[in-house]
């Protein structure tokens, strides 16, 4: 059950990050889930010591976990934009 919740919450975080970074038109549901899940790991690595929060699999509804996964997904999309377009936005 934890894996299903992690995929759902990862998809939501990836979708929100794609809205913020103006990438929603290029991304489908699959890529939203991938960006959200990878962004969660990245956010936990980058911001976990600062903000706190756990993993999406264990603490899917913790506000700090959601914040770190959202920030990680935004950072991941900014990196993708830099590589593809040469600019962050």
What is the predicted pLDDT for the residue at 89?
Answer: 60
Alpha helices (H) in the chain, listed in sequence order? 2-20, 29-51, 63-85
pLDDT above 70 (res 2): yes
Confidence label for 87 from pLDDT (cuts 50, 70 and 90): low
Spatial CB neighbours of 63, under 8 Å, sequence gap ≥ 6: none
Average of per-residue pLDDT values in the chain? 84
What does pTM read for this prediction? 0.84
What is the predicted pLDDT for the residue at 15?
Answer: 92
Number of structural domains the chain divides into? 1
pLDDT in tens, 49-84: 787 776 666 776 778 888 888 999 999 999 988 888
Give the Cα separation of 70 and 85 in Å (integer).
22
Give the domain extent around 67: 2-85
Q: How far is CA 22 from the centre of its chain?
A: 14
């Amino acid at each position: 059950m934890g894996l299903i919740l992690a995929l759902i919450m990862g998809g939501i975080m990836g979708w929100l990050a794609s809205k913020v970074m103006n990438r929603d038109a290029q991304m489908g549901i699959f890529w939203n889930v991938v960006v959200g899940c990878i962004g969660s790991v990245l956010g936990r690595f980058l911001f976990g010591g600062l903000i706190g929060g756990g993993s999406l699999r264990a603490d899917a509804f913790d506000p700090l976990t959601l914040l770190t996964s959202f920030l990680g997904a935004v950072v991941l999309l900014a990196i993708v934009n830099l590589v593809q377009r040469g600019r962050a936005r």
